[in-house]
Amino acid sequence: MNKALFLDRDGIINIEKNYVYRIEDFEFTEGIFDLCRWFQNRNYLIFVITNQAGIARGFYTEDDLKILTNWMTKQFHNEGITISKTYHCPHHPDFTGLCRCRKPEPGMILKAKDEYDIDLKGSVMIGDKISDIEASKNAGVGVSLLTSELQLLTKIILD
């Protein structure tokens, strides 16, 4: 079985802004590449687990998100980091009803588990919202870290 690092996108990989879907609005958080490299060097697969309610709200399309995600993944690749897969939930309960993928539901994590033979107890989730941590716990991920200070977390892990 594989170990995984699950990362929320907005607030962890990139600086939190309202509904980031364009490349020109995307800013990587300081330390994210070093953090991912550290986990990758310890044989963790890396996954992005992200709610994207802007799709349900009509602010942007699945195609817009795909363009940004492909660009983001390429930037990680350029840094020598492999993002195994990005999972997103395009739903919002007020617009599309309830679903099993929107965090705090564990659907995206469980899908990764099934597709990549993930040992959830040996895996880590890093998020900046309680819903990230609840999704992680609901899926059975072994370590869940809640932070809005990725730079500080990176320093702690890397030191």
Task: Please tell me which residue in 10, 34, 117, 119 is annotated as part of the active site.
Answer: 10
Beta bridge partners, 2, equal 118
Quote the longest CA-to-CA distance of the chain. Answer: 44
DSSP percent split of the chain into helix, strand, coil, nearest 5: 45, 20, 35
10 is known as an active-site residue: yes
Residue 135 to residue 42: CA distance in whole angstroms: 24
One of 8, 63, 119, 132 is an active-site residue; which one?
8
Q: Are 79 and 65 in contact (CB under 8 A)?
A: no
Contacts of residue 137, Cβ cutoff 8 Å, sequence gap at least 6: 144
**Vertex 44: Cα angle to 15 and 133 (nearest 5):** 50
In the Cβ-directed half-sphere of 85, how many Cα atoms lie within 13 Å?
12
> How does strand 83-89 pair with strand 124-127?
unpaired
Q: Which residues are catalytic?
A: 8, 10
